[in-house]
Amino acid sequence: MATINGNYREFRLDNGLFVALQETPTQTVSGRLRVWHGALNEEKGEDGIAHFLEHTLMTGGSQKYDPERADEIRGTFGSFNACTGLERTFFPVDMLAEDSQLFIEYVSDAAFNPRFATPKVEEERQRVLRETADAKSNPGFKDSKSYGEAFFGKNSPHTYFILGNEAVVGSANVDTLRGFHERGYHPNNMDLILVGALPKNIEDMVQENFGQFPSGNGKKFEFPRNPQLYGTIVLHTSAPELYNHENPEQSSAQLSISLVAPTETDEDSYAVNMLVNILGGDANSRLFQSVSQRKGLAYGVGAQYDGSNNKGGIYIGGSVHSVRANEAVDAIFEEMGKLRTDLVSQESLERLKRNSRYNIAKTFETNAGHVNAIELRMDKELTPEYHLERMEAVTPEKIRDAAVKYLPQNRTDGKYVLSLRDPLKK
């Protein structure tokens, strides 16, 4: 891990906790405790319990710290939060270096010895229910759900709703939360990453506060590969909230297109990443130059590639002129078609490689960036050196090969999911 520097070290406690430490010449520390126990570890009838538990761990205090003291401690740090993901729950922090010991003492007790104080559990129940209601009250919620299911499949873990079921959250009791906690909150199912001006006795701090807890069950969720598409799926729905009442003919519609792509571990993932950036990565991209600037069909339009969690997808989207939506779709497919036949210029490719080198350099100017780099190494065995090597190996020919393989030949014969949320649709 030479790009990080020689002050990186990692070790595992006897109980299985994996620890990664990186010293940097700063006055602060960034870090996170990651627990590989998230929404997808829920069993039947537990929809939303992982997220509910995260809320109670965040504000409910622990055996050592009552809720009021826990609030004070969290307020001491520059920032502290908790987040529930599909496959994990994590607790990120940014703080002054002098608060490192307080963080380690607090987060270990909060993670392993939650208090589950009834008043706090009830408070968080109401907050979780409001958060879920806010999500489902979004006018695009139903359409977004249908769009995701059309691309990944109805029962895909990639579309699992982390906030869960209101009835489950509403009826869950302390025993429900404690049972879910006991299944996965074990040191051998966690890792701790700390980067910054670490105390000289940081290893002893970690051992003292984490080493006492026993190993248990729990393991990382293994995502399945998202399925192939076998044709075109078009979802054209009404979106009255987008209607421009002052000038209806200037109403904007939300356009999204998804294409199956390689996962990040596939051989051609770097070529696809470059391809997608050329297609719609920034203001110099094909889509922005054509669809937005020259044709005026959208203000913002772009494309992204995501190969994480064993899924592969190219996502194209923007807010387009509703009256001319069909023209916007044609323009997008026209640009994809060009990439299938024409080689991109070496100058365009070098610009993207230069931007990528900049982003890597920028990453290592912050403690948080180091944390992210360590995560990539731990989770996917990806190092900055490997990334640069693979990126530099991409050629215009490889980009064209990727376009032929993953971009549709035309609008009528392609394999993709298209969603148009249209305020003018009756």
| Same domain, residue pair 171 and 48 | yes
| Same domain, residue pair 252 and 164 | no
| Same domain, residue pair 163 and 101 | yes
Task: Tell me the longest C-alpha to C-alpha distance in the chain.
Answer: 67
pLDDT tens sequence across 163-209: 999 999 999 999 999 999 999 999 999 999 999 999 999 999 999 99
pLDDT tens sequence across 362-374: 888 999 999 999 9
User: Which contacts (CB < 8 Å, 24+ apart) does range 212-215 have?
Assistant: 213/15, 213/108, 213/112, 213/186, 213/187, 214/15, 214/186, 214/187, 215/15, 215/16, 215/186, 215/187, 215/188
pTM: 0.93
Q: In the structure encoding, which two tokens stand for residue 11, read together?
A: 């070790």
Q: Rounded to whole angstroms, what are the CA distances from 318 to 281, 303, 314, 410?
A: 12, 9, 14, 19
CA 52 to chain centroid, in Å, comes to 19
| Same domain, residue pair 181 and 240 | no
Work out how many domains the chain is built from and give that number: 2
The CATH number linked to 88 is: 3.30.830.10
| Same domain, residue pair 179 and 74 | yes
Task: Tell which of 177, 210, 243 closes a domain.
Answer: 210
Token pair 């299944």 is found at 183
| Same domain, residue pair 17 and 129 | yes
- The secondary structure of residue 10, as a DSSP letter, is E
pLDDT tens sequence across 59-111: 999 999 999 999 999 999 999 999 999 999 999 999 999 999 999 999 999 99
| Same domain, residue pair 239 and 196 | no
Q: Residue 1 has what pLDDT? A: 36
Contact 237, 420 (CB under 8 A): yes
| Same domain, residue pair 145 and 56 | yes
Range of the domain at 167: 8-210
